[in-house]
Amino acid sequence: MRFAACAAALVLAGAAAAADPKAGEAKAAVCAACHGEGGNSTNPAVPSIAAQPAQFLSTALYMFRAGSRQDPQMSPMAKPLSNTEMNDLAAYFAAQKPAPPAHKTSAENAKQGPELARKFHCTQCHGPQLLGQQQMPRLAGQQYDYLRAQLRGFRDGKRGDLDGKMSESAQGLSDTDINVLADYMAGLGG
Amino acid sequence: MRAALAAAVLGAFTVAQAQDKPAASPPPSWQQGKPTGMSESTLHPFAIEMTGKAAKDLPVDKLKVPAGFKVEVWAEGMPGARTMAQGDKGTVFVGTRQLTEVYAVTDKGGKREAKVLLKGLDAPNGLVFSKGTLFVAERGRITRYDGIENNLDNPPQPQVIVDNLDPNKQPGHFWKFLALGPDGKLYFNIGAPGNIVMPTYMEASVMRVDMKGMLETVAQGVRNSVGMDFNPKTKELWFTNHGRDWLGDNSPNDTLHRVSHKGMNFGYPYCHQGDTPDPEFGKHRSCKEFDKPVLKLGAHVAPIGMRFYSGKMFPAEYQNNIFIALRGSWNRTEKQGYNVMRVVLDDSGKVKKYEPFLTGFLLDAKADPPMWGRPNDVMVMKDGSMLVSDDQNGIIYRITYAK
């Protein structure tokens, strides 16, 4: 069935609607139940989606719908969304203010973190302040447990990856490296 | 020993780190070949909008074509739209690389309707339409869908022409362009499996396959070609090629090539742009032993689709010109490219002129991102107009000419 033709003939919108943060807001209430008010998570296992780059958010939703990224909670949420709805939600959450991080980075990881982030090329794509850009998410102030789980997932080939670049970049990370990076990133404001 | 000593000095935490540290792993493939002097570089590849973008949200009015030409949005809502092929009845088939879809776009009384025709394919980037059949090049195989234009709502199961074209599954350049030769064979690329690496015997090549699945190597030393066409006058194969990354802002050029005979070798990984030895692989080889490109296209500009113009709409001086879509650059401090270029040849096939034809995607060469769209493929329609796909946004533009 891998090559099954799409017999149902999903007709795409002739003219795609412009991304509309207002329309996104109307659909965002259900997201806030887990991701927090305005997309600022208070659950260490659930990512903050406030102030994430819109392209990262729409890409994440696309991957959950396509099945290239899987999660028991998120996969069914993304399943019924159209591209336009994904773009609307992305536009809304990208425009939200990030809350200051509740996480406190240890003194030694505050020192080691930046070195590791350079060594493993994090800053090259996610930006010098790790604020994210385009398809690359904001890592600064992200939830600690979530960061750890993603980095382990990329390293171990268990986390869906848009183009393989994160999986490649995470090769060579030790469990300790991951703890240091997550502790450092989770405490970053900005 | 040094690591152990340092660990002892720095304390318990570092000791734990040293103990569970795995062996050093190679750099990610897109970083591979980057000199140590560039370790602080913030250059990074760009990604497409997987959910597409609406033309309304984009500065499409910035697009410019020469006087007498007009450019307009022709169809949208096809995320990742890349290679295009037109069917006998006018359907425009559109392939993707990062997605799994092939789209079919039909003209419904002046409005275009785009739909997902095939789904679940593995990087279906290469498309050819001929005599009722759609040929699709995926990551590892080439298939045919007979009679597809009569069955757009219920496409047939594909027949496999050749399989197992990507046994190594490397992260490098695995997507394929497809072109039909005057000999009735399908021509395609097998890209290098990384930025600058020693390819295996089938990689970094242009190959062809007949309808029975018999393979031949046409050209070697080709890092990655994702644009090919046959000169309508001489029937020779021409193709574009992507040069390596991380050799600096102005080196090497991406290139345009002419295949005058089977068995040519264009130098990868030893020699770039016909005259620049690779700092590592080129140490013990000479560029003299390799065939040369016919044109340097600019450094890191990422030429994708290229087609000869043999339509009837554009002015006479456009006959047999080559149009090339530049999808880059990213591996350059100040960005360039993101145009559709025009190449004018003389009667002997020598390049007379290389100039921009469609511009306006590049907004700010120093910004990140520098562009709002990326031209990917060019295709001449039966009426002589030209379609340009933009995979960044999932939009197709149409260029027409009127006196």
pLDDT per residue over B219-232, tens digit each? Answer: 999 999 999 999 99
pLDDT (mean) for B197-225:
96
* A172:B22 CB<8 A: yes
Residue count (chain A) = 190
Instruction: Give the nearest partner residue to B54 out of A16, A108, A127, using CB atoms.
Output: A16
Measure the CA–CA gap between B120 and B139, rounded to whole angstroms: 12
Q: Which residues of chain B from 167 to 186 reach within 8 Å of chain A, CB to CB? A: 171
Query: Which residues from chain B sit within 8 angstroms of residue A84, using beta carbons?
Result: 54
Query: Which residues from chain B sit within 8 angstroms of residue A125, using beta carbons?
Result: 44
Q: According to the model, what pLDDT value does residue A4 have?
A: 38
Average of per-residue pLDDT values in chain B: 92
Q: Are A134 and A125 in contact (CB under 8 A)?
A: no
Amino acid letter for position B202: M
Chain A contact for B163 (CB, 8 A cutoff):
no
Q: According to the model, what pLDDT value does residue B198 have?
A: 94
Query: Which residues from chain B sit within 8 angstroms of residue A171, using beta carbons?
Result: 25-26, 28
Chain A contact for B33 (CB, 8 A cutoff):
no
Stated pTM of the model: 0.90
Q: In what order do the strands lie in the sheet with B253-259?
A: B228-230, B237-241, B253-259, B295-299
Q: According to the model, what pLDDT value does residue A190 have?
A: 65
Alpha carbon of B319: minimum distance to chain A alpha carbons (Å): 33
Chain A contact for B51 (CB, 8 A cutoff):
yes
Q: Which string of b and e fits B346-371 if b means at least 16 CB within 10 Å?
A: eeeeeeeebebbbbbbbeeeeeebbb
Both structure tokens of A62: 């696309």
> Per-residue pLDDT for B20 more than 50?
no
Beta bridge partners of B341: B324, B356
Q: According to the model, what pLDDT value does residue A17 have?
A: 66
Q: Which residues of chain B from 58 to 97 reach within 8 Å of chain A, CB to CB? A: 75-79
With a threshold of 0.90, tell me whether the complex ipTM lies above it. Answer: no
Q: Are B258 and B297 in contact (CB under 8 A)?
A: no
Q: Are B377 and B367 in contact (CB under 8 A)?
A: no
Measure the CA–CA gap between B317 and B320, rounded to whole angstroms: 8
Chain B CA closest to residue A85: B51
> Per-residue pLDDT for B209 more than 60?
yes
Q: Which string of b and e fits A117-141 if b means at least 16 CB within 10 Å?
A: beebbbbbbbbeebbbbbbbbbbbb
How many Å separate Cα B384 from the centre of its chain? 23
Both structure tokens of B237: 């194969």
Nearest C-alpha neighbor of A160 from the set B288, B224, B50, B155: B50
* A12:B49 CB<8 A: no
**A175-186 helix and B12-19 helix, angle to the nearest 10 degrees:** 130
Instruction: Give the nearest partner residue to B115 out of A12, A108, A162, using CB atoms.
Output: A12
pLDDT (mean) for B18-25:
47
Q: According to the model, what pLDDT value does residue B340 have?
A: 98
Q: Are B304 and B226 in contact (CB under 8 A)?
A: yes
Alpha carbon of B316: minimum distance to chain A alpha carbons (Å): 34
Chain A contact for B54 (CB, 8 A cutoff):
yes
Q: Are B361 and B71 in contact (CB under 8 A)?
A: no
Nearest C-alpha neighbor of B265 from the set B223, B222, B296: B222
How would you class B248 by CB atoms within 10 Å of its CB: exposed for 0-12, middle for 13-18, buried for 19 or more? middle
Confidence class for position B172, pLDDT limits 50, 70, 90: confident
What Cα–Cα distance (Å) separates residue B10 from each residue in A108, A109, B3, B7, B347?
Answer: 11, 13, 10, 5, 72
Q: Are B44 and A121 in contact (CB under 8 A)?
A: no
Three-class DSSP category at B179: strand
In tens digits, chain A (190 residues) has pLDDT values of 333 333 333 444 445 567 898 999 989 999 999 999 999 999 999 999 999 999 999 999 999 999 999 999 999 999 999 999 999 999 999 999 999 999 999 999 999 999 999 989 899 899 999 999 999 999 999 999 999 999 999 999 999 998 888 998 999 999 999 999 999 999 998 6
* A124:B43 CB<8 A: yes
Three-class DSSP category at B231: coil
> Per-residue pLDDT for B9 more than 90?
no
Long-range contacts, stretch A76-80, CB < 8 angstroms, 24+ apart: A77/A30, A77/A31
Chain A CA closest to residue B38: A124
* B53:A177 CB<8 A: no
Instruction: Give the nearest partner residue to B171 out of A18, A164, A175, using CB atoms.
Output: A164
> Per-residue pLDDT for B149 more than 60?
yes
* A16:B114 CB<8 A: no
For A4, the enclosing helix (H) or strand (E) is: none
Q: According to the model, what pLDDT value does residue A16 have?
A: 59
pLDDT (mean) for B332-344:
97
Q: According to the model, what pLDDT value does residue B114 have?
A: 96
Q: Are B311 and B321 in contact (CB under 8 A)?
A: no
Q: Which residue has the higher pLDDT, B171 or B344?
A: B344
Measure the CA–CA gap between A13 and A82, rounded to whole angstroms: 10
Chain A CA closest to residue B17: A176
Measure the CA–CA gap between A159 and A173, rounded to whole angstroms: 15
Q: Are B209 and B222 in contact (CB under 8 A)?
A: no
Measure the CA–CA gap between A132 and B215, rounded to whole angstroms: 45
Q: Which string of b and e fits B157-182 if b means at least 16 CB within 10 Å?
A: ebeebbeebbeeebbbbbbbbbbbee
Chain B CA closest to residue A127: B42
Q: According to the model, what pLDDT value does residue B33 have?
A: 86
> Per-residue pLDDT for B17 more than 70?
no
Among A130-134, B33-37, B90-94, B394-398, where is mean pLDDT lowest?
A: B33-37
> Per-residue pLDDT for B4 more than 90?
no
